[in-house]
Structure 1
Amino acid sequence: MRAYIIRRLLLIIPTFIGISVLTFALIQLAPGSPVAYKLRGMEGAMKDDAATQEIIEQTKALYGLDKPIPVQYALWLSRLVRLDFGNSMKDQRPVMDKIAEALPITIQLNVISLLLVYLISIPIGVYSATHPGTRRDSAITLLLFMVYSMPSFWVAMLLILFLGGGEYLNWFPIHGLQSSDAENFSLGMRLLDRLWHIALPLFCLTYGSLAFLSRYMRAGMMDVMRQDYIRTARAYGFSERTVVWKYAMRNSLIAIITLLGGLLPGLIGGSIIIESIFSIPGMGRLAFEAVLSRDYPLIMGNITMVSLLTLAGLLLSDILYVLVDPRIKLG
């Protein structure tokens, strides 16, 4: 297992470099100029075209934008080794400081969302697989397909309208992570206050993956229930509960554990929309604002962290796959 993990970690290096090269090239090819955006607020201070051009050249030199693109990428990669993403073009703050503030919030939301998705989808999938063709199974299938088809931004707007004090009920806050006086609360009250604030964003991040994953669990469970060893277990007189939860479910988990690596980028991508709508200061909102302002250092810093999280998720899913299925041998 140790040798396998080391090989996978080494494989992450060229994969990450490939992602960063492609992303860097796409950013350079995008229309617009970050220098023009940065100088937009200085128009009144520019007396003539010569002064304007001088300031543009100075700004390019400051951020290394006057160098060839391969040189820019090499310089960025050399700083990355030291975890130095440079300073944000928008407010001159170190990019690493801004990421350090936003990343724990996004990780918190996504970890809770993943736990909820798996804890809810597994029982739903098991129940549907053990009661195929029943009215309840059909109702669950219909409901999940309806939920899966609803865009998260639309659901977020509906939740704000109906539950966030928009036009009807004012049950949940629609922005931020805590109340203004949360520092005066006890630890338990602060925890409840945080859960109250993230309830609506969590629902928006969870429901789509829940519908998707429960269908995978149902399909995997139904396939396992048709295997010979399940019939053998029943022939030996084991109870249906033991057959389903001890023998069938473990092998059914293989089908959804391998999806963990694919769920992470989807959740983080969804965080961009949800965090922007609910004014949550996480990585999603930070990335959205960076793209709008063409903040190159901040964009590359965000992409770096998201790429590393995604690659870590893929590695974790492979390790869990081996732990769940003892038939897998590591060479």
Structure 2
Amino acid sequence: MLTYLIRRLLLMIPTLLGITIVVFSVMVMSPGGIGGQLQADTMNMKPQERKAMMDYYNKRYGLDQPAPIQYLKWLNNVSPIGFEVKDDGSYGRFSLTKGMSLGQSFMYGRPVAEILGERIPITVLLNVLTIPLIYIFAIAIGIKAANDRGGRFDVSSNMIMLGLWSIPTMLAGVLLLGFFANVQHWHWFPTAGLGKRDAQDMVFMPHWGSLWDVIKLGLGVFLGTAFAIALARFNNQVVRLWVAAGIGMAAGAWMAYAHNGFLWINWIFLPLLGAVILVGLAYIASVPFRAASLGLVGMSLGLLIATQFVGQGYVRGFLLDRIWHLVLPIICMSYAGFAGLAKIIRTSLLENLSSDYARTARAKGLSEQDVLWVHVFRNSLLPLITIAAGLLPSLLSGSLIVENIFSINGMGQLAVEAVKGRDRELVLSITWISGFLTLIGYLIADFLYTLVDPRVTYD
């Protein structure tokens, strides 16, 4: 295993070189070449000013030198070993400890490392919150659907997951903004960014005018959750469905009342939609799933009702302001992911549940739960590990569509800006980091294969 790891690590070097050479060659062969945007920006200058500006760019970034020399200089800068670079741009002695430098950005005129240091935490925050949600929902739904093959939950969840997976992210983002962040409809969420400017001066945690307001909110959450869970565990299905329909219609009517402007279709469509959703959740055969779904709805409704009785003096605080801004982007980034992953988990579990070793385990007298969790689930993790190999680079690559729709200055938006501006240093740095993380992700996935499946060995 150690020999295999060393070999894979050594193979990363030519792979990264190949990736960066391809990207650099594409930039060179594109119309205008590297720094083409810089030349376009100087077209309105006087000839003397334009010449002085281009001389400055050529001296600082070496744009007047042959393309191979430019690439070798960049490679020397990002390599931890190589020739030391002096202040005037000339090269000194060869050093094994010269350190790494990602260079200066053409567009921003700042060190690339500083720019990445500002953008990376934003993208990491989005993905750290999104990825656990995707896997929790996908694993739970996939396991339940596989256990209930051909049943009510399996059929309904397959239809819902297929519908969610089919909705383009750009359409979902625009619809969420158009309805839930628009002043003409429900202005419940902000339209852009990750926080308001005045939130930087707020206290970190939310603050209420009195302790009684906090008690009201706590009671609202507790009573709403308790009632919803009690309803989910109620055995009489007819009564449970009628109560759920009534709550759904009331919630839909409240939503129609909160709409800016009277529309008669809202008073018909929204109560019916609320009733259908709540009845669907109350109709779930699995008690744990039913309790979790209705409990989440009850907690939300209880909190919303309690906020109507809170007095003056409420300060949202930095934490809630950040969460408030993250709700819509996280919904956009997660719904398609857990929908597709749930289908993959279901297929993998069904394949292993019908295999010979699962039938042998049942013949020995093991319960279906033991067969699932002790034998089948572990072997079904292989597709999840393969998909998870791409999670590490996605932490930095960002979601271009979501970041553009919600005006979030993350890595996805930065990569597009760098490509449009032909920013050599920025494009190559992003490519190098993303390629390195991709290779590390595949290496970790190969190692996890050996932990999950003993038959996999690299000796």
TM-score, with normalisation over the residues of structure 1?
A: 0.90
Equivalent positions of 1:219-230 (< 5 A) are: 219-230=347-358
The 1:38/1:116 distance shift into structure 2, 3 A limit, reads same
The 1:249/1:235 distance shift into structure 2, 3 A limit, reads same
1:185 counterpart residue number: 203
The 1:161/1:236 distance shift into structure 2, 3 A limit, reads same
Code of the residue aligned with 1:73 in structure 2: it is Y
C-alpha offsets along residues 231-270 of structure 1, whole Å, 9 cap, x if unaligned? 2222333222222223211111112211212455567666
How many residue pairs match? The answer is 329
Distance in 2, Cα, partners of 1:255 & 1:291: 33
Code of the residue aligned with 1:318 in structure 2: it is D
The 1:317/1:191 distance shift into structure 2, 3 A limit, reads farther
Distance in 1, Cα, partners of 2:52 & 2:198: 48
How far the C-alpha of 1:2 sits from its partner, in A, is: 4.4
C-alpha offsets along residues 45-73 of structure 1, whole Å, 9 cap, x if unaligned? 41x3x653454344233211111111111
The 1:31/1:167 distance shift into structure 2, 3 A limit, reads farther
Which of the numbers 130, 134, 149 marks the counterpart of 1:117? 134
1:252 counterpart residue number: 380
Q: Is 1:62 aligned with 2:60?
A: yes
Gaps of 5+ in 1: none
Q: Is 1:8 aligned with 2:8?
A: yes
Which of the numbers 401, 407, 421 marks the counterpart of 1:273? 401
The sequence identity of aligned pairs, in percent, is 39
2:82 counterpart residue number: none
1:27 counterpart residue number: 27
The 1:223/1:298 distance shift into structure 2, 3 A limit, reads same
Worse-matched range after superposition: 161-170 or 14-23: 161-170
Code of the residue aligned with 1:148 in structure 2: it is W
Flag the structure with larger Rg: 2
SS at match of 1:181: helix
SS at match of 1:88: coil
How far the C-alpha of 1:74 sits from its partner, in A, is: 0.8
Q: Is the 8 A contact 1:205 1:270 kept in 2?
A: no
Distance in 2, Cα, partners of 1:39 & 1:266: 33
How far the C-alpha of 1:103 sits from its partner, in A, is: 1.2
2:71 counterpart residue number: 73
Which of the numbers 320, 325, 328 marks the counterpart of 2:453? 325
Code of the residue aligned with 2:386 in structure 1: it is T
Worse-matched range after superposition: 156-165 or 29-38: 29-38
Q: Is 1:163 aligned with 2:183?
A: no
Distance in 2, Cα, partners of 1:3 & 1:185: 53
Q: Is 1:83 aligned with 2:100?
A: yes
C-alpha offsets along residues 264-302 of structure 1, whole Å, 9 cap, x if unaligned? 556766612211221212111211222222222112122
SS at match of 1:327: coil
Worse-matched range after superposition: 113-122 or 31-40: 31-40
2:252 counterpart residue number: none
1:241 counterpart residue number: 369
Q: Is 1:217 aligned with 2:345?
A: yes
Distance in 1, Cα, partners of 2:421 & 2:186: 36
C-alpha offsets along residues 59-114 of structure 1, whole Å, 9 cap, x if unaligned? 23321111111111111111111431211112211011101111122122223322
How far the C-alpha of 1:36 sits from its partner, in A, is: 4.9
What do you get for the CA RMSD once the two structures are aligned? 2.4
The 1:115/1:83 distance shift into structure 2, 3 A limit, reads farther
How far the C-alpha of 1:172 sits from its partner, in A, is: 2.0
SS at match of 2:389: helix
Q: Is the 8 A contact 1:160 1:166 kept in 2?
A: no
How far the C-alpha of 1:174 sits from its partner, in A, is: 2.8
Q: Is the 8 A contact 1:175 1:279 kept in 2?
A: yes
The 1:53/1:220 distance shift into structure 2, 3 A limit, reads same
1:306 counterpart residue number: 434
Distance in 2, Cα, partners of 1:115 & 1:308: 23
Code of the residue aligned with 1:24 in structure 2: it is F
2:418 counterpart residue number: 290
